[in-house]
Structure 1
Amino acid sequence: MLTDDPGWDSDDVLLRELRGALAEERDVPGHMREAARAAYTWRTVDAELMALTSYDSVLDADLAVRARAAQTARQLVFDAEGFSVQVEVTEAGVAGQVLPARPGRVQLLTAAGPLEEAELDEVGMFLLGPPPPGPVRFRCEVGGTTVVTDWVCV
């Protein structure tokens, strides 16, 4: 038998001990808040952000005028160190290719979350359904690496 029995067999004693423990420090210490912020900042460290650096057919003035007149596809190219994601958006859907070609998956993301995903074929090609109006982005998981494109309105 324990000689240091705190009397926890009584609910009143247990509740009094719990109240005392909770009252000791109500505020989260500053160093813990800083650690939490730092951890949150690094939550997407594995997903390298791909910038729309190479090409957007909407920004090509001559092509944009012809595209609006002919209702043709919008072409986008996203680049990051070692990766390129090329997509063509039409009313029928999204066709794209991830280079260099490796096994993997691509997801079409909206502000509400993932909308659709597809496997990459042997040459890195994928097909997705039509995106909804508004901002979208692509998340690609290729060879153990995850890359995420910028948001773009389609």
Structure 2
Amino acid sequence: MGDRPNRTPDDHQPPDGHTTPIGHQHPGGYGSVPDDHTASPGPEAPAGRLRRITKSTEAAYAVLLAAGIALPFAQAVPWLAENGPALGRLLDELFATRISSFFGWDVIVTVVALLFTVTVVDTSLTRAQRTLTVLASLLGASVGLPLYLLLRQRNLRLTATRPPPHA
């Protein structure tokens, strides 16, 4: 550890030894997210390759969304059929042990962070997409997060492949 060069907190040290300020993309793809928070493939990447990558990413998010609906609800529906909408009992069982409390709080904090991101931070979603994501998040993080990522990725693809407006 003593052989590491002294750096300021604003510097990032990629493996090749060049210093890149945080917030800037290193030319080799190593480093933090660019300042504009876009995932640009660079000028050398063909548009067809971008569409294929983006479509496969959208497909992956769609699979995660399907799993995020099917797997949790395979457990929730029988519980609801047996217990009804008993919120008190649900909370008692959710926080019955330390490990179940861990997962309960993990999901609650994730949903709150997702709701904050969707409603305050991210401006890439339309109002209808934002509303749909908020409603899906109320079903759980396993539904809301993949849906948000799917919609966001689709919007990025559509804006990347749309021709620029004529000036």
Q: TM over 0.5, yes or no?
A: no
Greater Rg over alpha carbons, structure: 1
The structure richer in strand per residue is 1
The TM-score with structure 1 as length reference comes to 0.27
The TM-score with structure 2 as length reference comes to 0.25
The structure richer in helix per residue is 2
Looking at both structures, which has the greater relative contact order when contacts are Cα pairs under 8 Å and sequence separation is at least 6?
2
